[in-house]
Amino acid sequence: MDPTDRESACFEAGIKFGALYHQFAGTPVSPRNAASLGAAIEESIENQPFCEAVTVEILTDELEAELADAPAEYTELTGRFMEVEIVVDREGVGVTARMEMDDGYPRMRVDSVSE
C-alpha cells in the first residue's frame, strides 16, 4: 500500500529534522555566533524539497549558563540549546513540526497537519 499524502508530508518533516540535527550537532557555538549559526541552519534546511520554512532559535541564555564556568568561550551545539520549527508542504498537505526539550531530551514532533 502506498503512503497517504498526510503520511508522506509527515515523513518529509522527519527527514528535515534528521538532516538538521545530524548535520549541525557538534558545531561550535557561542552566544556571539548563535544568531548567524541559526540563520545558516535555517537557510541550509530550507533548500530541501517540500520545505516551506525553518525557524531556529538558539537559546543564548542556555549557552551563557553553560559557559559561565567553562574554560572555553564556546560549546557544542546540541538539542538543548535550540528550539526549531519546520513547515513542509507536500501535495497540498502542510505539516508544522517542532523540536523542544522534553524531560531532558530534544523531542521532535508533529505539531499540526492541514489539508
Mean pLDDT over all residues of the chain? 96
- Per-residue pLDDT tens over the stretch 67-91: 999 999 999 999 999 999 999 999 9
Buried b (16+ CB within 10 A) or exposed e, 27-60: eebbbeebeebbeebbeebeeeebbeebebebbb
- Per-residue pLDDT tens over the stretch 4-14: 999 999 999 99
Four-way CATH pick for 5-114: 3.40.1280.10, 1.10.3720.10, 3.40.50.150, 3.30.1300.20: 3.30.1300.20
Cell 517540500 -> residue: 50
